[in-house]
Chains A and B, each alone.
Chain A
């Protein structure tokens, strides 16, 4: 492992940032798909030069682009995401039922086991899979047909399936999350699903035992401990040690527990990172000071990380898919902002510096260790 490649999706294209292990000098390529909103770019862990990107625009719809040379060149592949059968309806903001309609791809999750297999999370919430490198996509309808489906309602960003995690030793076991339905787990490759939201408490849901309706913003897992899950919820940072069957709050001394991303250190499964945001209507850091918070104890006790981050007049946001880690010996932490910066910390969060400062608003960040 001698270097890193950072895959950045923005409101106006994708960028690929590369560096050696020192992570001080960077090459920037892009914009790829200039003018298209790129919600996510992801790489196959099996074949690292195989990349998948999900550009879309309101004008011309959804594309899926694939690269087999690490992002130097791209080819459009299949982009039809047709629900399986008649998808019926789900709940809208006003409580009425509206038809399930494909809007865009939010997240691509290449399989840990096969470079041609990729999972796609879409809005309106559905999980799709390709087994031919993106040529064709097929819904795994068991999720949408979970008995609670008609009661799922959109969060402010839409009814989006934004998180997909595959168990590192069991290809059939997946975890996904939907705003604002909650988290779900399958153990049979998506045929059947269990809602895993016990212990989540959300203002505005009168039933404290509600099975669904929770606005989960992001899940994270360390591959060495796949039954321990971390969650940044709309409000509250949560932890489960039984694969999501039960959750407990670990917000501890955070200045606010609202936020979007959450990430786990590559070598320390109890070291986790969040970016606290002022509130659900004030999507910027408290006091205008951009602080990543790190817990080395798996939650509850948090320390602010500020070295190199703006500590005044900073009013940007870090979106749910815009934080990632590398797996070099000194674990690097990365995040992108709605202000167009991508920050890197080559020392686990102790110090930060911007890789780039003036990109379009950043939607997603993924990191490959090469």
Chain B
């Protein structure tokens, strides 16, 4: 399954990517699985989206897809089918907070 991931500007620059990232996942498409694949390809992103030790989402990061806020869903929950089949991107968003 080829999953599309959109990163915020800071993290795109940090990882040295332009546009969306495409990740091929052999396993069930969950938030955890997407982030693990992302961090495996771009180790510099480890710890920037979720805590490197606990795996908890950083406080000012949100996950959106299919016009839904998935931030508070269990990270092992399957993502919506359009994310899994690549027709919709999984969005990692820096929340609007301060300047």
Q: Is A173 an interface residue (CB 8 A)?
A: no
Give the nearest-CB partner of B44 in chain A: A76
- Interface contact A36-B10, CB-CB below 8 Å: yes
| Residues of chain B lying within 8 A (CB to CB) of residue A82 | 53
6 sample A-B contacts, Cβ–Cβ < 8 Å, listed by A number: A59-B60, A59-B61, A60-B11, A60-B14, A60-B61, A63-B48
Shortest CB–CB separation between residue A83 and chain B, in angstroms?
11
Q: Is B17 an interface residue (CB 8 A)?
A: no
- Interface contact B14-A63, CB-CB below 8 Å: yes
**CB-contacts of B1-18 with A (<8 A):** 8-11, 14
Q: Is A186 an interface residue (CB 8 A)?
A: no
Q: Is A267 an interface residue (CB 8 A)?
A: no
Q: Is B80 an interface residue (CB 8 A)?
A: no
- Interface contact A79-B47, CB-CB below 8 Å: yes
A59 and B58 alpha carbons, distance in the complex (Å): 7
**CB-contacts of A102-135 with B (<8 A):** none
Given A58-B97, A58-B98, A76-B44, 19 extra CB contacts under 8 A = A35-B9, A36-B10, A58-B59, A59-B58, A59-B95, A59-B97, A60-B8, A60-B10, A60-B48, A60-B49, A60-B58, A60-B61, A60-B94, A61-B58, A63-B14, A79-B47, A80-B52, A80-B53, A82-B53
B interface majority secondary structure:
loop
Q: Is A189 an interface residue (CB 8 A)?
A: no
| Residues of chain A lying within 8 A (CB to CB) of residue B61 | 59-60
| Residues of chain A lying within 8 A (CB to CB) of residue B48 | 60-61, 63
A59-B10 CB under 8 A given contacts A76-B44, A79-B47, A80-B47: yes
Give the nearest-CB partner of B59 in chain A: A58
| Residues of chain A lying within 8 A (CB to CB) of residue B58 | 59-61
Q: Is A57 an interface residue (CB 8 A)?
A: yes
A57 and B14 alpha carbons, distance in the complex (Å): 13
A80 and B44 alpha carbons, distance in the complex (Å): 11
Closest 10 CB pairs of A and B: A60-B48, A59-B60, A59-B94, A76-B44, A61-B47, A58-B60, A61-B48, A60-B10, A35-B10, A80-B52
Number of interface residues of B (CB under 8 A): 19
A59 and B9 alpha carbons, distance in the complex (Å): 12
A370 and B81 alpha carbons, distance in the complex (Å): 59
A80 and B61 alpha carbons, distance in the complex (Å): 19
A36 and B8 alpha carbons, distance in the complex (Å): 13
**CB-contacts of A223-241 with B (<8 A):** none
A63 and B9 alpha carbons, distance in the complex (Å): 16
| Residues of chain A lying within 8 A (CB to CB) of residue B49 | 60
**CB-contacts of B50-99 with A (<8 A):** 52-53, 58-61, 94-95, 97-98
| Residues of chain B lying within 8 A (CB to CB) of residue A80 | 47, 52-53
Shortest CB–CB separation between residue B18 and chain A, in angstroms?
16
| Residues of chain B lying within 8 A (CB to CB) of residue A76 | 14, 44
A59 and B7 alpha carbons, distance in the complex (Å): 13
Give the nearest-CB partner of A80 in chain B: B52
Residue from B48, B53, B97 with most neighbouring chain A CB atoms (10 Å): B48
| Residues of chain A lying within 8 A (CB to CB) of residue B95 | 59
Shortest CB–CB separation between residue A136 and chain B, in angstroms?
13
| Residues of chain B lying within 8 A (CB to CB) of residue A61 | 47-48, 58
Chain A 30-63: CB-based contact to B (< 8 A → 1; otherwise 0): 0000011000000000000000000001111111
| Residues of chain B lying within 8 A (CB to CB) of residue A57 | 10
Give the nearest-CB partner of A76 in chain B: B44
A276 and B57 alpha carbons, distance in the complex (Å): 42
A301 and B57 alpha carbons, distance in the complex (Å): 54
Give the nearest-CB partner of A75 in chain B: B44
A62 and B52 alpha carbons, distance in the complex (Å): 11
Chain B 1-41: CB-based contact to A (< 8 A → 1; otherwise 0): 00000001111001000000000000000000000000000
A35 and B99 alpha carbons, distance in the complex (Å): 9
